[in-house]
C-alpha cells in the first residue's frame, strides 16, 4: 500500500506531479453488496442473496480492509460516512453499530458527522430504523423510485407504493434528515404520472430529493431488452416540470439530480463533486486519496466472496486496481464533478484540489465559453444554463 510522502510545502511535486498545500476533506464509503433482487436498470455492484447474509465474515473482512487502508489516511479527520449498495438496510442494526464503532475507534470521526444509510422500502422496519439511529446513522436515503405500483413492477422493485409511504414515515420518525430517490422517464410513463409521483414525494416534506432520469445502462437487463420509455422531447418536458415543482416547494436544485431545503444538501456527495477525497471499503468500492505530491485512485475486488477472502489475507490483493492520476486525468475528473453543481466552484478550488494552475485548462475553457456552455472568467468555474442542460457536451470539452 502506498505511504504518505513528505510535506512539500505545497510546491509542485516531483516528476511533475501535483503539489497540494493542504489535503482535501475525507469521506468514508462502505459498500454493502447484497440485495434481495437485482433491478433490471441497475449497473451497480450488487448481488442477489437469499437467506441470511454472511454478516460476521463481512464485518471481519471490512475491518481487515480498513486496517490495511489506515496508513493512507492516518490522522486525517473524516467529514462524512455513507453506507451504499446493494441494500445496506439488509444489514442488522448490530452490524451497522459495529461498523460505525470501528470507524470511530480507528478514524477521526466527529460525533456530529453526517452518516447516511441507503434503505430499500421493501426491507424497512420501524424498530430497525430506530436501532440504526441509535447506532449513529443520522440520515436515511430511501430508494422510492415511484409511487405507482405498475411502474414499480416494471422497474423490478420489491416494494409497492404502500410500503414506500410507510418506510418514509418510519425514516422520518427515526432520523432528522431523509432523502427520497425518485426516477422519471419510466417505461410508458406519462407527464401526469411523473407529476403525480413528485407531488406525492413533496407532500412528505423531506429535507432532500434525488430525482433521476431513467437511463438504460450497458450490461443491464434493460440494455438488452429495452422497455418503451418516453422520447427525448417528453423526457425533457418531465425534467423541466420536476424542477419547477421542486422549486415551488422550496427545494434548491443545487446539483443536476439533487434538490434540498436550505442547509440540507448531502455533504457526502458535495465532497465528491468538489473533488474531495474518499476511502471506499467493501467489495467493488472505489477510493480517491490525495497525498502532498500525488493523487491515486483504487478499486476493490467486485465479487463479495473474493473480496472477503483477499481482504483477510492482509496482502493488499483485495485492491485490484490502483493508478496515479496525471495532469490530464486531474483536469477532466475535476470538471466532471464540479460542473454538476448549479453554482459551480471557485476557481481557486481547482488549485487547492489538484495542485495545478487553472491555466492548464484555459484552451478547453475558451472552447466551452465560445460554445455558450461555460461562463467566462477564472474566478468561478460554472456552467451556463445551456451548458448545464447539455452537461455531457460541456464535460467532454475537458477530455484530453
**Quick one: which of 39, 20, 251, 62 has its CA closest to 146?**
39
Q: Is the pLDDT of residue 3 over 50?
A: no
Q: Is the pLDDT of residue 255 over 60?
A: yes
Cell numbers found for residue 361: 485548462
CA distance 212 to 229: 14
Q: What is the reported pLDDT for 400?
A: 64
CA distance 200 to 278: 34
Q: Are 262 and 5 in contact, with CB atoms under 8 Å apart?
A: no
Name the band, by pLDDT with cuts 50, 70 and 90, for residue 124: confident
Q: What is the reported pLDDT for 119?
A: 96
Cell numbers found for residue 270: 458535495
Question: Over the stretch 358-384, which tens digit does the pLDDT of each residue have?
Answer: 999 999 999 999 999 999 999 999 999
With pLDDT > 70 as the criterion, what percentage of the chain qualifies? Answer: 95
Q: What is the reported pLDDT for 16?
A: 46
**Quick one: which of 250, 272, 247, 259 has its CA closest to 212?**
259
Q: Specify the 3-state DSSP secondary structure of 300.
A: strand
Question: Over the stretch 38-79, which tens digit does the pLDDT of each residue have?
Answer: 999 998 999 998 888 999 999 999 999 999 999 999 999 999
Answer whether 14-271 and 327-400 agree in fold. Answer: no
Cell numbers found for residue 311: 481482504
Q: What is the reported pLDDT for 12?
A: 36
Q: Is the pLDDT of residue 218 over 60?
A: yes
**CATH classification for the domain delimited by 327-400, as one of 3.40.50.720, 1.10.10.920, 1.20.1260.10, 3.40.718.10:** 1.10.10.920
**Quick one: which of 91, 141, 93 has its CA closest to 115?**
141
Q: Specify the 3-state DSSP secondary structure of 97.
A: helix
Helix ranges (DSSP H) in 292-338: 304-312, 327-338
**Quick one: which of 13, 9, 20, 17 has its CA closest to 349?**
20
CA distance 212 to 170: 23
Mean pLDDT to the nearest integer, 385-399: 95
Q: Which helix (H) or strand (E) holds 144?
A: strand 139-145
CA distance 360 to 344: 18
pTM over 0.95: no
CA distance 358 to 189: 43
**Quick one: which of 35, 27, 41 has its CA closest to 229?**
41
Q: Is the pLDDT of residue 1 over 80?
A: no
Q: What is the reported pLDDT for 32?
A: 98
Beta bridge partners of 34: 47
Name the band, by pLDDT with cuts 50, 70 and 90, for residue 17: low
Q: Are 353 and 334 in contact, with CB atoms under 8 Å apart?
A: yes
Q: Are 197 and 148 in contact, with CB atoms under 8 Å apart?
A: yes
Mean pLDDT to the nearest integer, 291-302: 96
Q: Is the pLDDT of residue 271 over 60?
A: yes
- Using DSSP bridges, classify how beta strands 294-300 and 319-324 pair: parallel, antiparallel or unpaired: antiparallel
Mean pLDDT to the nearest integer, 313-338: 96
Give Dmax (Cα) for the chain. Answer: 59
Burial class (CB within 10 angstroms; exposed 0-12, middle 13-18, buried 19+) of 162? exposed
Q: What is the reported pLDDT for 50?
A: 80
Q: What is the reported pLDDT for 123?
A: 82
Question: Over the stretch 156-177, which tens digit does the pLDDT of each residue have?
Answer: 999 999 999 999 999 999 999 9
Assign domain 14-271 to a CATH class.
alpha beta
**Quick one: which of 138, 134, 141 has its CA closest to 176?**
138
Q: Which helix (H) or strand (E) holds 363?
A: helix 362-370
With pLDDT > 90 as the criterion, what percentage of the chain qualifies? Answer: 91
Mean pLDDT to the nearest integer, 22-28: 97
Q: What is the reported pLDDT for 9?
A: 33
Q: Are 180 and 142 in contact, with CB atoms under 8 Å apart?
A: yes
- The 3-state secondary structure of 114-129 reads EEEEEECHHHCCHHHH
CA distance 34 to 23: 33
Q: Which residue has the higher pLDDT, 365 or 125?
A: 365
Spell out the domain ranges in the chain: 14-271, 327-400
Q: What is the reported pLDDT for 14?
A: 36
Amino acid at each position: 500500500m502506498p505511504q504518505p510522502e513528505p510535506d512539500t510545502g505545497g510546491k509542485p511535486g516531483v516528476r511533475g506531479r501535483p503539489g497540494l498545500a493542504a489535503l482535501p476533506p475525507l469521506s468514508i464509503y462502505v459498500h454493502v453488496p447484497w440485495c434481495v433482487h437485482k433491478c433490471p436498470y441497475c449497473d451497480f455492484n450488487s448481488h442477489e442473496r437469499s437467506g441470511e447474509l454472511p454478516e460476521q465474515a463481512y464485518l471481519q473482512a471490512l475491518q481487515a480492509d480498513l486496517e490495511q487502508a489506515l496508513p493512507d489516511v492516518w490522522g486525517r479527520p473524516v467529514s462524512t460516512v455513507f453506507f451504499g449498495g446493494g441494500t445496506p438496510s439488509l444489514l442488522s442494526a448490530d452490524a451497522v453499530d459495529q461498523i460505525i464503532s470501528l470507524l470511530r475507534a480507528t478514524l477521526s470521526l466527529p460525533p456530529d458527522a453526517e452518516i447516511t444509510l441507503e434503505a430499500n422500502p421493501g426491507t424497512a422496519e420501524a424498530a430497525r430504523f430506530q436501532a440504526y439511529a441509535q447506532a449513529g446513522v443520522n440520515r436515511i436515503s430511501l430508494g422510492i423510485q415511484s409511487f405507482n405500483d405498475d411502474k414499480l413492477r416494471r422497474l423490478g422493485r420489491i416494494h409497492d407504493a404502500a410500503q414506500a409511504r410507510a418506510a418514509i414515515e418510519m425514516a422520518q420518525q427515526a432520523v432528522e434528515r431523509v432523502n427520497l430517490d425518485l426516477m422519471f422517464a419510466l417505461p410508458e410513463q406519462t407527464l401526469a404520472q411523473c407529476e403525480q409521483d413528485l407531488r406525492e414525494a413533496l407532500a412528505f416534506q423531506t429535507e432532500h430529493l434525488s430525482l433521476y432520469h431513467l437511463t438504460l445502462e450497458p450490461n443491464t437487463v434493460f440494455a438488452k431488452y429495452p422497455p418503451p420509455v418516453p422520447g427525448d422531447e417528453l423526457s425533457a418536458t418531465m425534467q423541466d416540470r420536476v424542477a419547477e415543482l421542486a422549486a415551488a416547494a422550496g427545494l434548491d436544485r443545487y446539483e443536476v439530480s439533487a434538490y434540498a431545503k436550505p442547509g440540507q444538501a448531502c455533504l457526502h456527495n458535495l465532497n465528491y463533486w468538489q473533488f474531495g477525497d474518499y476511502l471506499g471499503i467493501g467489495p467493488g468500492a472505489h477510493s480517491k486519496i490525495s497525498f502532498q505530491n500525488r493523487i491515486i485512485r483504487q478499486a476493490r475486488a467486485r465479487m463479495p466472496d473474493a473480496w472477503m477472502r483477499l481482504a483477510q489475507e492482509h496482502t493488499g490483493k483485495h485492491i485490484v486496481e490502483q493508478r496515479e492520476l496525471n495532469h490530464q486525468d486531474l483536469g477532466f475528473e475535476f470538471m466532471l464533478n464540479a460542473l454538476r453543481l448549479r453554482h459551480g466552484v471557485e476557481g481557486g478550488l481547482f488549485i487547492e484540489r489538484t495542485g495545478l494552475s487553472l491555466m492548464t485548462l484555459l484552451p478547453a475553457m475558451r472552447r466551452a465559453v465560445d460554445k455558450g456552455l461555460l461562463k467566462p472568467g477564472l474566478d468561478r468555474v460554472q456552467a451556463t444554463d445551456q451548458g448545464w442542460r447539455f452537461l455531457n457536451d460541456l464535460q467532454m470539452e475537458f477530455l484530453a
